[in-house]
Amino acid sequence: MATSTDSQIDLTTCSICLETFKTPKNFPCLHSFCEGCLQTYITTSFGQTKGGVNCPVCRMFVSKPDDISIEEWAKNLPTNYILVSLIDLNETKSGQKLCAECARENESENACSWCVNCAEALCKSCYRSHRRNKTSSDHKLVELDKGLDRDIPLYHADVFCSEHTEEKVKVYCEDHSAICCMTCVMLNHRKCDHVRSIEDAASKLKKSKQTEEFSQNLQDLKICLTRLCKNRTISLQTLDLDLKQIRDDIDSLFKGLSCHLTKMKRNIMSEISDVEKEITSEIENEHFEIKCKIPAVENDLSLFQTSMKHAPPAQFIQAMEKLEEQKKLLENFVRDQSKTLRDIRVTFKANEKLMEISKIIQEFGEVNITRNTNYELQHSINRKLKIMTSMPTLTSKVDTGFHVTGIAFLENGQVVLSNHNSKKIELLEPRSSTILSSLSLPSFPWGIKIMRATEGSVAVEGKGLTFFNIQRDRILKVTEMKTEVNRDFVHHRGQFYIGCNRKIIVYDKLLRKVREITVNCDVGYMAVRDENTMCFTCESRGRELCCITMDGIPVFTYSQDKLQGTRGVTVDHTGYIYACGLNSRNVHQLSHNGKLQRIVYDNLPTGPYCIHFNTQGDKAVIGCEGKILLYDLE
């Protein structure tokens, strides 16, 4: 068996044997396999799933026809003649093809031309005979050294009417979206206004915006599926970190306890292992199912592009209908996955009595599994993947009378903000411009981060972080963490990265100091850029935005004359970075690698301190000197 050396989709290679197709057969999902490979796969796989088999590529379930035996199933599947012709054409281009007519007489002659109608290669002698023969005199013949690099149809097969089986289809009725023979036109389409020849209809379809959008939809589907795969990969990594942390906590707690605890430790470790197997298996199955769809999209895209270039009109229209059905199935799958996938976290809650009276303890603790909907993932899948290309619409302006130095959306649309003047954080209902609740702080508040649905933290100047929870429109203080802090922090994969003067201090989820990252400026506002990097504004230099890895390795630095007094920074769902210019009164939109795309908010009424997007990605809020600006995004 051959080995796969190229990740790019090759329509002529069977994904089972990795060899060039031998009699390619189609499954309903449009994936093709050698007839022999498919028959072997069906024979060995049938019975594992009731009444059919799963496609080896995309895992789509294919039911076995009732009137066909398992042994005859592959043979009775439709042959992919486009692939047959493509293989012949490739062999012909490479000079490996012999004349098909001579081969039937057990003779070997090198081919010099290609008959589009017969989908066969011909030698010089047979080429002349083909021209002279009455039945083939009107066939389209292409000389190999002249025409094969052009976009010619691979195979010109006649398509016959489904109602009048002896008549060829010749026209396409746009009113009924149907290909028809001339008898159908006379009987059923006389009053239709838009009846075209097959050639004109196919040409119009190829040039239409529909094909552009279809191609883009398939590429967007691939992006979405890749995101879903990445989400599952991250979940596995997070699970591994969670379990490692739990085991460390258990080992630390276990030290110093008597042998009476050995049995309980064994029990809890066994429970963790069971959880690990259960969740790992669940995530891996989801990951595998999603990953299998990527080749499906790549196959559809390749088949679409090949059909656009080479398929004759009737086959092209039929292929588009099938591809459209397949695209809808993939779209439904992507939407379903984005709704049903859950971000899984595993936590360990130690038995409080364990530290007090070991004699009465009957259990070591409990392992909890939480499944949280990833709204950012879901909304990034469901909304169109497009960047902000024009000035957003200002929908509301709230005059606060104080400097808003930190701001964040909640999932319900409410906004939590830092009131710098009164040393409070406030809960705002933006639709009515009403302050619902306040929480007093010991010093000036700055950056705010929402870590879970209603749980967040705020950077308090000279004091550290204050953690809060919002219940029934009330802000409740939970705890404090004393640490150095300038303006902001980020929370990433269970760790806190605190911005300070010329360094970033890292704490774990138990608020224990882990390490320090040295940087070359005083850190201002901060944001997570992606899984491995973060951005921060340079407080000491005034017009710079820096990006580093989570280990402190520089990635890029952005500086621009039109960005003065850098303050707030955030990243939207598509990976674009936004930096506030307090003195320049604008917001710069940067690409993922730190290149200016556009100034999306310019000439603001007052200088912006902070910016944040809601989880749906359709609203933005900017905190300014004395004002809050709310925008609707396209």
Q: Of 382, 415, 435, which closes a domain?
A: 382
Q: Are residues 192 and 245 in the same domain?
A: no
More confident site: 398 or 519: 519
Residue 514 belongs to some domain of the structure: yes
Structure letter (DSSP) for residue 99: P
Spell out the residues 6+ positions from residue 23 whose beta carbon is closer than 8 angstroms to its own: 34, 35, 36, 79, 84
* Residue 334 CA from chain centroid, whole number: 9
Q: What does the pLDDT read at residue 115?
A: 83
Strand segments, DSSP code E, in 45-128 are: 52-54, 61-63, 113-115, 120-122
Give the lowest-confidence range in 5-19, 173-187, 585-599. 5-19
Place of tokens 């690990």: 276
Give the lowest-confidence range in 45-59, 124-138, 290-304, 566-580. 45-59
Q: Which residues pair with 419 in a beta bridge?
A: 404, 424
Q: What does the pLDDT read at residue 101?
A: 86
Q: Are residues 186 and 220 in the same domain?
A: no
* Residue 44 CA from chain centroid, whole number: 33
Residue 233 belongs to some domain of the structure: yes
Residue 388, pLDDT above cutoff 80 = no
Per-residue pLDDT, averaged over 523-547, amounts to 91
More confident site: 94 or 462: 462
Q: What does the alpha-carbon distance between residue 353 and residue 410 come to, in Å, rounded to a whole number?
A: 36
Per-residue pLDDT, averaged over 471-497, amounts to 92
Cβ-count burial 509-537 (b if 16+ within 10 Å, e if not): eeeeeeeebebebbbbbbbbbeeebbbbb
Residue 327 belongs to some domain of the structure: yes
Q: Of 359, 382, 405, which closes a domain?
A: 382
Q: What does the pLDDT read at residue 158?
A: 67
Residue 138 belongs to some domain of the structure: no
pLDDT in tens, 290-330: 999 998 888 888 888 888 888 888 888 888 888 888 889 98
Q: Are residues 181 and 47 in the same domain?
A: no
Residue 469: band (very low, low, confident or very high) from pLDDT cuts 50, 70, 90: very high
Q: Are residues 4 and 65 in the same domain?
A: yes
Residue 126 belongs to some domain of the structure: no
Residue 3, pLDDT above cutoff 50 = no
Residue 482 belongs to some domain of the structure: yes
Angle at 253 between CA 251 and CA 257, to 5 degrees: 100
Q: What does the pLDDT read at residue 387?
A: 38
Q: Are residues 467 and 615 in the same domain?
A: yes
Q: What does the alpha-carbon distance between residue 167 and residue 160 come to, in Å, rounded to a whole number?
A: 6
Q: Are residues 264 and 302 in the same domain?
A: yes
Per-residue pLDDT, averaged over 257-283, amounts to 84
Q: What does the alpha-carbon distance between residue 503 and residue 497 come to, in Å, rounded to a whole number?
A: 10
Hey, is 30 helix, strand or coil?
A: coil
Q: What percent of the chain has pLDDT over 70?
A: 88
Q: Are residues 331 and 473 in the same domain?
A: no
Residue 382, pLDDT above cutoff 70 = no
Element (H, E) at 590: strand 586-590
- The two tokens of residue 514 are 């882990």
Q: From the CB of residue 630, how many other CB atoms can be counted at a distance below 10 Å?
A: 22
Per-residue pLDDT, averaged over 242-246, amounts to 87
Q: Of 191, 207, 223, which closes a domain?
A: 207
More confident site: 303 or 216: 303
Q: Are residues 199 and 231 in the same domain?
A: no
Element (H, E) at 516: strand 513-528
Residue 58 belongs to some domain of the structure: yes
More confident site: 519 or 384: 519
Q: What does the pLDDT read at residue 564?
A: 92
pLDDT in tens, 27-66: 988 899 998 899 889 888 876 667 789 998 888 888 888 8
- The two tokens of residue 418 are 């830092």
Residue type, 397: K
Q: Are residues 521 and 401 in the same domain?
A: yes
- The two tokens of residue 282 are 């669940």
Q: Are residues 232 and 361 in the same domain?
A: yes
- Rounded to a whole number of angstroms, the CA Rg of the chain reads 32
Q: Are residues 338 and 401 in the same domain?
A: no
Domain count of the chain? 4
Q: 20-24, 32-36, 335-339, 545-549: which has the highest mean pLDDT?
A: 545-549
Per-residue pLDDT, averaged over 249-278, amounts to 81
- The two tokens of residue 246 are 């739990």
Place of tokens 């439904």: 332
- The two tokens of residue 173 are 């009725």
Q: Are residues 324 and 464 in the same domain?
A: no
Structure letter (DSSP) for residue 76: H
Q: What does the alpha-carbon distance between residue 292 and residue 304 come to, in Å, rounded to a whole number?
A: 19
- The two tokens of residue 547 are 């990006």
Q: What is the CATH number of the domain that holds 51?
A: 3.30.40.10
Residue 545 belongs to some domain of the structure: yes
Per-residue pLDDT, averaged over 450-462, amounts to 90
Domain that holds residue 480: 393-632
Question: Does residue 160 contact residue 171 with C-beta atoms inside 8 Å?
Answer: no
Q: What is the CATH number of the domain that holds 499?
A: 2.120.10.30
